[in-house]
Chains A and B, each alone.
Chain A
Amino acid sequence: MIKLIGILIVAVGFGFRLNTLLVVMAAGVVTGLVSGMSFNEVMAQFGQVFIDNRYMSLPIILSLPVIGLLERHGLKERAEVLIKKAKGATAGKVLMSYMLIRELSASLGLNIGGHPQTVRPLVAPMAEGAATAKHGELPEEVKDDIKAHAAASENVGWFFGEDIFIATGAILLMKGYYDSVGMQVGVWDMALWGIPTALCAFFLSYWRFKRMDKRIERAMTKKKNSKIA
């Protein structure tokens, strides 16, 4: 039971909005100490895993200089211009299309996307541009709503598409686990039984993006009306 103290620290730390890094480190140190590790052992563990997982920071650090350079030269502005030419485009439809591409390509084993690579420079500005073209200048809350859903379209599309392809990390991990306990389970079986959930994830997102479009519509009509009044 005492081993769960780390979870408690994380929950309390997040609850009190303490610095997340500090909360995480404290939870790790305390959990390590109560499980019989020395402080130095915990530090060594933190160091080792930190180094082993440097790849996690790779996409963001590498993309930001290029994306920043392009943004300086009008990438977002062009993305907005481009989407304004598409008749009938809405923020929700843009996100839906991105999610469809992301989920389908992921299910074929292709990883075309990511928050720094595509969401920030292309998807979010296009979705915002579509809404601006339709309703005029957007207030901050509406912009943030669209951006948050752009990030969601990336996550949902990638998570639930990726697992249908047999050579991805998730399937190989499951296979590796079953191998380690001496069970024969086929990779294709695991991949194909993921399809029903992947379809549900897609339709749920469709519903959410449609609702977002309605929300934007309402917010903008209200804004217009209040201006007239």
Chain B
Amino acid sequence: MNIITIEYIYYLLGIITAFVAIRVAMNKNHPSRIGSTLFWGIFAFTFLFGKVVPPIAIGYLVLAMVVIAAIGKVKSGDQDETPKEERDKHAERLKGKVFIPALVIPVFTVIGSLTLGKVHFGKVHLVDPAMVTLIALGLATILAYLVAQVLTKAKPAAAGHEGSRLMQAVGWAIILPQMLAALGAIFSKAGVGDVVSKMVGDVLPTNIPFVAVAAYCIGMALFTVIMGNAFAAFAVITGGIGLPLIVHMHGGNPAIMAAIGMFAGYCGTLMTPMAANFNIVPAMLLDLKDKNAVIKAQLPIALILLVINILLMYFLVYNF
């Protein structure tokens, strides 16, 4: 039994997202009122009722969101950012205090995730221990909102207005991470990974220890680029290349292989638009003109680090 589950936080997300839909619906000057209202409305629905509606219905709703986005009907309506003079005026009044709510989020997320999971009354847990970090983040954000509201003395609608403006600025990319997770699941269900590992094993002379290491690391990076997620790549590539070749054939150390192999996968994460929540959503969030700018900034680090990982693994995995 848990008193606070992640489901409650999802209800809150649903309410915030529904608010965006309502704002769009009420905005007579919105460039694509119907499409955007539907998009944000369906997204809100998935948070509010995702647990009770059968997955297939959600699947078709997601399809509807994709179609709306693909025909260009998800647009941003509120462009009215607060003027610079007004922001400067507030900044002058609040001074450093404006940082307090911003710092409340990380600080209380950490405190919450370290403590909340341990609070229980007999068998009844205060929060779901499996989801403690996310719930802590949720509660910290609510606290930060309250502090911000008190400090700024803004109208209650202001936070909703700003949240709606920023979410519309991110636009349809906001569901990209969830979509890519779904694609990854279908890829693994279809056995795409096995085909890739088998191809690598067939084509390369993996009886040479160095080639086995290089194939494993590059396989991790490449498969992560495809899936957008190093975790998904790990089981596939380790099962297909790592264990049979590095550990069983050449007697490598599995702990070293896993540790460095996962990092090779992360090099892939740094390079791929498929890792949308790390690379594409931030580009939207930071108003970058080039949506691949974050990837371009990371590419040199990722490629060099991949080579370093191969060399490190080659020298370490067979010697310890």
List residues of A whose CB falls within 8 A of some B CB: 1, 3-4, 6-7, 10, 14, 19-22, 24-25, 27-28, 31-32, 34-35, 37, 40, 42-79, 81-82, 110-113, 115-122, 124, 140, 144-145, 147-152, 154-156, 159-160, 163, 169-170, 173-174, 177-178, 181, 183, 185-186, 189-194, 196-198, 200-201, 204-205, 208
Contacts and interface: CB of A to CB of B under 8 A. Distances in A.
Contact of B259 (A59, A151, A194): A194
A-B pairs, top 9 by smallest CB distance, nearest first, are A68-B162, A74-B91, A65-B163, A43-B59, A47-B58, A47-B59, A189-B255, A47-B55, A35-B190
B6 interface: yes
A48 B179 CA distance: 11
Main secondary structure of the interface of A (DSSP, over half): helix
Contact of A115 (B61, B270, B282): B282
Contacts of A28: 182-183, 186
Interface residues of B, number: 139
From B89, B94, B294, name the one whose CB has the most chain A CB atoms within 10 angstroms.
Answer: B294
Given A31-B186, A204-B305, A193 B316 contact: yes
B91 A174 contact: no
Interface stretch (B24-32, B165-173, B204-212): B165-173
B301 interface: yes
A181 to B, nearest CB: 7
A51 B58 contact: yes
16 contacts: A22-B70, A47-B57, A48-B58, A50-B50, A56-B178, A57-B174, A64-B166, A65-B160, A74-B88, A148-B283, A148-B296, A181-B243, A185-B258, A190-B259, A197-B259, A198-B263
B59 A45 contact: yes
Given A60-B281, A61-B167, A144-B289, A32 B102 contact: no
A115 to B, nearest CB: 4
A61 B191 CA distance: 33
Given A31-B190, A56-B178, A111-B113, A51 B51 contact: yes
B116 to A, nearest CB: 14
B165 A193 contact: no
